[in-house]
Homo-oligomer: A and B are copies of this chain.
Amino acid sequence: MRIGQLARSVGVDTQTIRFYEREGLLPPPERQDNGYRIYTERHVERLAFIRRCRILELSLAEIHELQRYQGAPHQPCRAINTLLDDHIAQVRSQITDLQVLEKQLVSLRASCNDDRDIGACRVLEGLSEESMQQ
């Protein structure tokens, strides 16, 4: 199959496929005489794997690491689970940070209503005050 069909069947852009190839995540496929890339079912699976990892927001480096593990099936899988644990920890830390952020924003927003002049807007005041610093 050609790149367009692969792209449609997995739901990514053709540019993204070429990008993954350049980044070493997708093996370079055979070429037709005219230079067109020709993909196999293996490529579909490989690309789908990448996409599922990306949905979980694993980085390309992490996906690369997982692919290396796939090539060594007789080693213990501790490293894979460690990778996942680290990623989960990072997602949790992002959530916590954003929750702190949300509180600060809501508190700032609550300091003003919509019926003031900008010159008297407490939101702008809040952003201009030293007290808001951290």
The number of chain A residues with a CB under 8 A from chain B is 55
CB-defined contacts of A72 to chain B, threshold 8 Å: 118
Which of B73, B120, B128 lies in contact with A119, CB distance below 8 A? B73
Q: Is the interface of A mostly helix, strand, loop or mixed?
A: helix
CB-defined contacts of A52 to chain B, threshold 8 Å: 127-128, 132-133
CB-defined contacts of A117 to chain B, threshold 8 Å: 73-77
Chain B nearest CB, measured from A127 CB (Å): 5
21 A-B Cβ contacts within 8 A?
A45-B128, A48-B133, A56-B104, A56-B127, A66-B124, A69-B121, A69-B124, A73-B117, A74-B117, A76-B115, A77-B116, A77-B118, A80-B118, A80-B121, A81-B121, A84-B109, A84-B123, A88-B106, A91-B105, A95-B102, A98-B98
